[in-house]
């Protein structure tokens, strides 16, 4: 396929970035559509990141992603921040509109896309339990609220973080019933029995020796009701949380699809073309395989 005339450069900012899979999927998409572009890893310590962002107008990038720990920091250096990113409190994608940098949050979009496309789940009128109250949880709660979920309970070992999300989202989505509780309590156990979707938005499950995010005994057996369990972790593909849910007959999904779809939406913002999602998916799977995990 004939390539476009102008070369473009994209990248991802974060620290550390040794295991990022983003270059694999974006480079595969560029190759598939014959776009003359590269996607590079920009691992910078905080002082270097801030110094570079202060000169963001002179960046030779056509667009970029931002990951931990800079999703909040980057907002002050952009010309415009989209309302959904402002509400979530984090930007993971920046794109140019003329000479201006616009920040958005495609994590939320990626979450909703994977929920519907890969999970076959529609949040409208449903009850949700979110385990965790960090940045990922904020994007998830915003997405569920946007799709008119009925009830959202957030549980965290620092309940004030969950209460802050409930307060912020309650102002934007007054028809959604929010509840914020301490993780590991009876309230969480009871809510799990009634929930339609349970989402792990904590890092628990990344390492083999991690404690369980919830006790196995709290996951009900799928008798009359088959629930949907999602873990935002994608490596390992089956965390203890998902294994327990699957063993009890529930539907499960890991976070690889969210990574894929947020990347696809970012790619579309940059190129104004439809992303080759399946090509990007295969590139992610291959990259995971090559990492030997």
Question: Tell me: the pLDDT tens digits for 222-253?
Answer: 977 899 999 999 999 999 999 999 999 999 99
Percentage of residues in the chain having pLDDT higher than 90: 94
Domain edges within the chain: 8-104+259-290, 109-254
| 286 contacts 21 by C-beta, under 8 angstroms | no
Tell me if 145 sits within 8 A of 176, measured CB to CB: yes
Fold designation for 109-254:
Rossmann fold (3.40.50)
**pLDDT for 5:** 58
Positions marked active-site: 71
Give CA–CA dist 29/35, Å, rounded. Answer: 8
Cα–Cα nearest to 245, from 119, 147, 152: 119
The structural architecture, per CATH, of the domain 8-104+259-290 is: 3-Layer(aba) Sandwich (3.40)
- C-alpha 64/C-alpha 57 separation (Å) is 13
The confidence score (pLDDT) of residue 293 equals 53
Average pLDDT over residues 106-130: 97
Q: What is the pLDDT of residues 64-101, one digit of tens each?
A: 999 999 999 999 999 999 999 999 999 999 999 999 99
**Of 75, 49, 109, the residue nearest 263 (C-alpha):** 109
Assigned token pair, 138: 């904020």
**HEC readout, 92-136:** CEEEEECCEEEEECHHHHHHHHHHHHCCCCCCCCCEEEEECCCHH
Residues 167-211 pLDDT 10s: 999 999 999 999 999 999 999 999 999 999 999 999 999 999 999
Decide: 121 and 97 in contact? Cβ < 8 Å.
Answer: no
CB 126 within 8 A of CB 103: no
- Residues contacting 250, CB < 8 A, separation 6+: 219, 222, 226, 227, 228, 229
């Amino acid at each position: 396929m004939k390539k476009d005339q102008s070369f473009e450069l994209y990248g991802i900012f974060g620290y550390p970035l040794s295991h990022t899979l983003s270059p694999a999927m974006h480079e595969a998409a560029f190759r598939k559509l014959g776009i003359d572009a590269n996607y590079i890893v920009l691992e910078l310590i905080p002082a270097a990141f801030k110094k570079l962002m202060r000169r963001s107008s002179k960046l030779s990038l056509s667009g970029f992603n931002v990951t931990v720990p800079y999703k909040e920091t980057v907002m002050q250096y952009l010309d415009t921040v989209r309302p959904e990113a402002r509400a979530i409190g984090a930007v993971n994608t920046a794109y140019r509109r003329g000479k201006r940098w616009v920040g958005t949050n495609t994590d939320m979009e990626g979450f909703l896309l994977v929920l519907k496309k890969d999970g076959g789940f529609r949040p409208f009128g449903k009850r949700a339990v979110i385990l965790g109250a960090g940045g990922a949880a904020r994007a998830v709660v915003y997405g569920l609220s946007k799709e008119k979920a009925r009830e959202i309970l957030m549980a965290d070992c620092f309940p004030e973080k969950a209460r802050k999300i409930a307060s912020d989202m309650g102002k934007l989505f007054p028809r959604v019933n929010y509840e914020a509780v301490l993780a590991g309590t009876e309230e969480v156990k009871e809510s799990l029995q009634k929930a339609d979707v349970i989402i792990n938005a904590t890092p628990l499950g990344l390492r083999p020796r991690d404690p369980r995010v919830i006790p196995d005994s709290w996951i009900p057996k799928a008798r009359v009701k088959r629930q949907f369990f999602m873990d935002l972790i994608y490596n390992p593909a089956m965390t203890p949380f998902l294994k327990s849910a699957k063993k009890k007959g529930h539907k499960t999904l890991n976070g690889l699809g969210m990574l894929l779809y947020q990347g696809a939406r970012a790619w579309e913002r940059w190129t104004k073309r439809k992303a080759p999602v399946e090509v990007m998916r295969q590139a992610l799977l291959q990259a995971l395989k090559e990492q030997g995990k």
